[in-house]
Structure 1
Amino acid sequence: MSDTSADTGREMPETVEILQNRRTIRKFADRPIEPDVIDAIEQAARQTATSESLSAWSALRIKDPEIRSEIAHICGFERIAHAPLLYVFLVDQHRNLRIAQELGVDAESASLRSANLFFQGYADTVLAVHATETAAEAFGLGAVILGSVHNDIPRIIELLHLPKNVFPVLGLGIGYPEKTPELKPRPPKEHQYFDDVYPDDARTPSLVEALSQYDREVHDYYERRNPSNPLPGFTSYVAAVAQSAFVDKGNIFQMIEDQGFRVD
């Protein structure tokens, strides 16, 4: 237990405190992670909730310096090559298909290759990443999640020798933080949590006006973080992303199919 809530007097559970204070760490101290800590983190992640008890995910520990360097290049994040612990998490139906084939199931007709079970496996993988990150933070470590492994999916598949029915989802770098950044603001709770049904747009005629205070919080945060080029605010950032030039990274559904899954 840790801090006490002013509203109820109830002590805040440590896990909740960790989640409420989550930060992305992009620069790690030159300090190895103890093997027993790594084992405990991985054991915690293995207990992640999984659809239909299929555990349709796996993770690669990336140790080879050349592979690390190329992943860093693909992600556009050169420092990640030096993270004490670097993973790539994968949807993995290859293992389950092998089991099914050994028990006489035709691999071509197996439902394990279906779009439904692909996306179930994808969700399982994301949950495993989050569990790994949270467990790492419980040990005083920090982490950065790397969606940027999707910048070049075919090369990641080639680089990691991924067989059919395995697909990269997220990278995860972990280490002891060299510096802990300020907590980044998030959108107001009333714009993310609703009761029973999604609210009608008439309830909030102007989201830009409703989020004006949050815009100021975001601007102030980035002004402290990068005074020479602060972000104007959340709503202007959303608009900029919406009209930014589309970067073609290839047809992801085709790449999923090329790995043996059926997504039609």
Structure 2
Amino acid sequence: MNHTLETILNHRSIRKFTEDKLTNEQIHTLIKAAQQASTSSNVMAYTIIGVTDPILKNELRKVSGQTYVEHNGHLFVFCGDLHRISQLAKPEELVEMEETIESTEQFIVTTIDAALSAQNLAIAAESMGLGICYLGSLRNDIYRVSELLGLPEYVIPLFGMAVGTPAHKPELKPRLPFEAVYHENKYKTDESQQTSISFYDAQLQEYYQTRSSNTKTDKWSGQMIRKYRNPIRMDVSSFVKEQKLNKR
């Protein structure tokens, strides 16, 4: 197995970092890696904001509720961004472009482009011996995050990523079985899907009960039912539309 595959297959979220800050060289390398990700029609519909101001980090931690938003080697916030595209146009051209920019299709483009760039950055960071944790919790108050980061229209904060030198090494969390996520030619709706999920429930329950910290009794199916029975971040929809994305 080559080093790239070893890096990918050994991914785990790191939530405790040392006080070591990333160097400028490391940051530049990670951003360059992010930029080499595939992008729809070369739009590159994302912006990455590096947060170094301690006061700003503290405010973002308050939104997130997670200490590692504040205490890490470097904090990146990935934004879907079509503002850059809108700035290319003269006023009369922008009127003609608005229908496309504000479409659901282009909203999907921004989220995919940002996610692809983030995953490139994550793999690059881990290959350098660093750890990472994705931070969807910044959407707990998406309006506040937008205000803190001074985001213009056509820009939305999608998620953050804490990067730094790991201060712990958590166990590798198991994933759904191959058969549950890979369907050949057509989507499988037979009982084999439930069989795979039942197997994963047992596997994940064993993981929770035997890991070195925060042991508990839980199953994936129960987690998902609880998650989707309790609506959260419902203001994201209105925020996205107010930013003039996903309107059409």
TM-score w.r.t. the length of structure 2 is: 0.92
Instruction: Tell me which of 113, 122, 145 is aligned to 1:156.
Output: 145
Aligned to 1:126: 115
Higher-RCO chain (CA-CA 8 Å, sequence separation at least 6): 2
Instruction: Give, in angstroms, the shift of residue 114 of structure 1.
Output: 2.4
CA 1:181/1:156 → structure 2, altered by over 3 Å: closer, same or farther?
same
Q: Which 5+ residue runs of structure 2 have no aligned equivalent?
A: none
Secondary structure, in 3 states, of the residue corresponding to 2:93?
coil
CA 1:239/1:164 → structure 2, altered by over 3 Å: closer, same or farther?
closer
Cα offsets for 1:65-110 (capped at 9, x unmatched): 11101111111102320211001110111111101238x5134643
Instruction: Tell me which of 62, 87, 103 is aligned to 2:51.
Output: 62
Task: Return the letter of the residue paired with 1:241.
Answer: K
CA contact (8 A) 2:39 2:113 kept: yes
CA contact (8 A) 1:218 1:231 kept: no
TM-score w.r.t. the length of structure 1 is: 0.86
Task: Return the letter of the residue paired with 1:134.
Answer: I
2:231 corresponds to 1:246: yes
Instruction: Give, in angstroms, the shift of residue 228 of structure 1.
Output: 6.8
Instruction: Give, in angstroms, the shift of residue 210 of structure 1.
Output: 4.2
Q: How far apart, in 2, do the equivalents of 1:251 and 1:31 lie?
A: 36
Cα offsets for 1:165-204 (capped at 9, x unmatched): 1111110000010111110011111111111100132x43
Aligned to 2:94: 106
Instruction: Give, in angstroms, the shift of residue 129 of structure 1.
Output: 1.0
Task: Return the letter of the residue paired with 2:243.
Answer: Q
Instruction: Tell me which of 236, 240, 245 is aligned to 1:256.
Output: 240
Q: How far apart, in 1, do the equivalents of 2:217 and 2:226 lie?
A: 11
Cα offsets for 1:9-33 (capped at 9, x unmatched): xxx1211111111000000012222
CA 1:82/1:108 → structure 2, altered by over 3 Å: closer, same or farther?
farther
Instruction: Give, in angstroms, the shift of residue 51 of structure 1.
Output: 0.7
CA 1:261/1:200 → structure 2, altered by over 3 Å: closer, same or farther?
closer
Secondary structure, in 3 states, of the residue corresponding to 1:184?
coil
Task: Return the letter of the residue paired with 1:24.
Answer: S
Instruction: Give, in angstroms, the shift of residue 149 of structure 1.
Output: 1.0
Aligned to 1:146: 135
CA 1:210/1:36 → structure 2, altered by over 3 Å: closer, same or farther?
closer
CA contact (8 A) 2:21 2:72 kept: no
CA 1:29/1:113 → structure 2, altered by over 3 Å: closer, same or farther?
same
Aligned to 1:196: 185
2:70 corresponds to 1:88: no
Instruction: Tell me which of 82, 96, 104 is aligned to 1:115.
Output: 104
Instruction: Tell me which of 203, 211, 228 is aligned to 1:217.
Output: 203
After TM superposition, the structure 1 stretch with the greater mean CA deviation from structure 2, 213-222 or 80-89, is 213-222
Between the two proteins, the alignment pairs up a number of residues equal to: 247
2:175 corresponds to 1:186: yes
2:23 corresponds to 1:34: yes
Instruction: Give, in angstroms, the shift of residue 113 of structure 1.
Output: 2.9
Q: How far apart, in 2, do the equivalents of 1:227 and 1:76 lie?
A: 20
Q: How far apart, in 1, do the equivalents of 2:5 and 2:15 lie?
A: 22
Aligned to 2:164: 175
Instruction: Give, in angstroms, the shift of residue 123 of structure 1.
Output: 0.8
Percentage identity across aligned positions? Answer: 30
Q: How far apart, in 1, do the equivalents of 2:211 and 2:76 lie?
A: 28
Instruction: Give, in angstroms, the shift of residue 225 of structure 1.
Output: 3.2
RMSD over aligned Cα, in angstroms?
Answer: 2.0
Aligned to 1:45: 34
Task: Return the letter of the residue paired with 1:15.
Answer: T
Q: How far apart, in 2, do the equivalents of 1:19 and 1:47 lie?
A: 17
Task: Return the letter of the residue paired with 1:240.
Answer: R
Q: Where has structure 1 moved over 6 Å in runs of 4 or more? A: none
Aligned to 1:5: none
CA contact (8 A) 1:87 1:173 kept: yes
Q: How far apart, in 2, do the equivalents of 1:263 and 1:178 lie?
A: 43
Q: Which 5+ residue runs of structure 1 have no aligned equivalent?
A: 1-11
